[in-house]
Amino acid sequence: MRQLLLALTCALAASLHGQDASLVPGLRATLATATNDTLRADALARICFNMIRSEPDSARLAGEQAMTLAKRINNPRALGDAHNNLGWLAAEQGQLDRADSLLRIALGIFQRIGKPEYTAVTLSNLGWVAEKRGDSVASLKHFLGSLALSESVHDTAGTSITLYSIGVAYRKLKDLDHAKEYLDRARAFEALLGRRGNEANCILALANTMREQGDTLNALAAYNEAIAIYGSLPDHSGWGLAEENIGDLHSDHDPRKALDHYRIALAHYDSVHSAMDKAYVLKRIGSVHLAMGDLQQAEKSLNEGHALGANSGQIPLILEYELALAKLAVKKGDAEAAMRYYDRYIALKDSMQGSDTQRELARLRTEFETERKEADNLLLRAENSEQAARIRSGQVKLYASIALVVLVLVAALLLLRNFLQKQKHTNVLKKLNQQLADSNKEITEINGLLEMKLLRSQMNPHFIYNCLNSAAQMTQAGKQVEALAYLQGFARLLRMVLDHSVNDTVTIQEEMDFLRQYLALESQRLNELRYEVTADPDLLDDEAAVPALIVQPFVENAVWHGLANKLGERTLNVRFSLDRDKVTCTITDNGIGRTHAARLKEDSPAAHTSLGMQLTSERLKLLTRRLGEQGAIRINDLADPDGKAAGTRITVELG
What integer pLDDT is reported at residue 367 of this predicted model?
Answer: 43
Work out whether strand 570-579 and strand 645-653 pair parallel, antiparallel, or are unpaired. Answer: unpaired
Q: What average pLDDT does the segment 181-199 reach?
A: 93
Distances 425 to 29, 333, 353, 428, 430 between C-alpha atoms, Å: 93, 84, 61, 5, 9
Using DSSP's 3-state secondary structure scheme, residue 531 falls into: strand
Which of these CATH numbers, 1.25.40.10, 3.40.50.300, 2.60.120.10, 1.20.58.100, describes 123-193? 1.25.40.10
> Model confidence over 139-184: pLDDT tens digits?
999 999 999 999 998 988 889 989 999 998 898 889 999 999 999 9
Question: Residue 353 above 90 pLDDT?
Answer: no
Give CA–CA dist 124/144, Å, rounded: 9
Q: How many CB atoms lie within 10 A of CB 159?
A: 22
Question: Residue 516 above 70 pLDDT?
Answer: yes
> Model confidence over 414-468: pLDDT tens digits?
888 888 888 887 888 888 788 877 767 666 655 555 555 554 554 456 557 767 8
Type of residue at 523? S
What integer pLDDT is reported at residue 359 of this predicted model?
Answer: 40
615 falls in which pLDDT band (50, 70, 90)?
A: low
What integer pLDDT is reported at residue 484 of this predicted model?
Answer: 84
DSSP designation for 551: S
What integer pLDDT is reported at residue 64 of this predicted model?
Answer: 92
> Model confidence over 202-214: pLDDT tens digits?
999 999 999 999 9
What integer pLDDT is reported at residue 613 of this predicted model?
Answer: 55
Q: What average pLDDT does the segment 351-355 reach?
A: 56
Outline where 313-353 has alpha helix (H). 315-332, 335-352
Residues 6+ apart with CB under 8 A from 302: 282, 283, 286, 290, 321, 324, 325, 328
582 falls in which pLDDT band (50, 70, 90)?
A: confident
Question: Residue 32 above 80 pLDDT?
Answer: yes
Q: Where in the chain is the domain with CATH 3.30.565.10?
A: 503-653
Q: Domain 503-653, what fold?
A: Heat Shock Protein 90 (3.30.565)
Burial class (CB in 10 A: 0-12, 13-18, 19+), 214: exposed
Burial class (CB in 10 A: 0-12, 13-18, 19+), 312: middle
Give me the DSSP letters along 69-119: HHHHHT-HHHHHHHHHHHHHHHHHTT-HHHHHHHHHHHHHHHHHHT-HHHH
pTM across the whole model: 0.50
Q: Where in the chain is the domain with CATH 1.25.40.10?
A: 123-193
Q: What average pLDDT does the segment 308-323 reach?
A: 80
Question: Residue 42 above 70 pLDDT?
Answer: yes
What integer pLDDT is reported at residue 531 of this predicted model?
Answer: 94
Q: Which residues of 443-482 are buried (b: 16+ CB within 10 A; e: fewer)?
A: eeeeeeeeebeebbebbeeebeebbeebbeebeeeebeeb
Residue of higher predicted confidence among 291 and 457: 291
Give CA–CA dist 450/172, Å, rounded: 45
What integer pLDDT is reported at residue 579 of this predicted model?
Answer: 84
Handedness of CA 385, 388, 390, 392 (dihedral sign): negative
Using DSSP's 3-state secondary structure scheme, residue 529 falls into: strand
Using DSSP's 3-state secondary structure scheme, residue 605 falls into: coil
